[in-house]
Amino acid sequence: DTGVSQNPRHKITKRGQNVTFRCDPISEHNRLYWYRQTLGQGPEFLTYFQNEAQLEKSRLLSDRFSAERPKGSFSTLEIQRTEQGDSAMYLCASSLEDREVTEAFFGQGTRLTVV
Amino acid sequence: TQLLEQSPQFLSIQEGENLTVYCNSSSVFSSLQWYRQEPGEGPVLLVTVVTGGEVKKLKRLTFQFGDARKDSSLHITAAQTGDTGLYLCAGDAEYGNKLVFGAGTILRVKS
């Protein structure tokens, strides 16, 4: 399967702990996006990369969140000092940059529960 | 901020009925995508519409992009229980590079 892959699928952590999620995009895609989704809502944009460059970061993203895409391939999203409000589904998507439209393909997501 | 408003928020219908879901904005979008999402899974791309007035069909699903590229609709004919899910519209912001999502329409089709 050559789709977007996210690990882990589920993560339960205690408040105050750090967590890191990984996303492997579709291999030929040079754009990679992170979204957060709470129950019954649409995905909320967090940040996106074009190759290894982080081009945009949501103003809603606190400084406890950091994302990297060191070699323009896989990406990691780290949340430091987790809070209960961080509990959500974290979605990764990828797309091609040379298309006229942004046709994003999503992974299955990482469900984070902060207890 | 370019907002996409979806309506209705929730729809519960009997198998065999028709339905339409709407996605509206005051902003112009380069394109609009429709996704379907099941609980615990990521959104799955159904269709992309690019040209104002464009109509695309995917089996029993018909997607339309408004002439001014500010709105879109999804029509399902003879709904089936397998159509149950969260339907999301997403816009490719004309001056940006990310997808902005609506809040979604939860569709429940009862047998």
Residues 6+ apart with CB under 8 A from B19: B11, B13, B75, B76, B79, B107
Residues 6+ apart with CB under 8 A from B64: B49, B53, B54, B55, B56, B72, B73, B75
The residue among B31, B99, B106 with the most chain A CBs within 10 A of its CB, best to mutate, is B99
| Confidence at residue B94, expressed as pLDDT on a 0 to 100 scale | 60
Of B95 and A86, the one with more pLDDT: A86
| Confidence at residue A94, expressed as pLDDT on a 0 to 100 scale | 94
* Beta-strand pair A110-114/B105-110: unpaired
Cβ-defined contact of A106 to B99 (cutoff 8 Å): no
pLDDT tens series, chain A, 115 aa = 579 999 999 999 999 999 999 999 999 899 999 999 998 889 999 999 999 999 889 987 889 999 999 988 999 999 999 999 999 999 999 998 755 677 899 999 999 999 9
Which one of B92, B97, B106 has the shortest CB-CB distance to A40? Answer: B106
Shortest distance, CA B104 to any CA of chain A (angstroms) = 6
C-alpha–C-alpha distance, residues B77 and B106, integer Å: 17
| Confidence at residue B71, expressed as pLDDT on a 0 to 100 scale | 95
Average pLDDT over residues B13-42: 94
Answer whether B48 touches A (CB < 8 Å): yes
Of A10 and B29, the one with more pLDDT: A10
Answer whether B88 touches A (CB < 8 Å): yes
Shortest distance, CA B71 to any CA of chain A (angstroms) = 16
Cβ-defined contact of A42 to B106 (cutoff 8 Å): no
Tokens for A90, please give them.
Answer: 């974290």
Answer whether A48 touches B (CB < 8 Å): yes
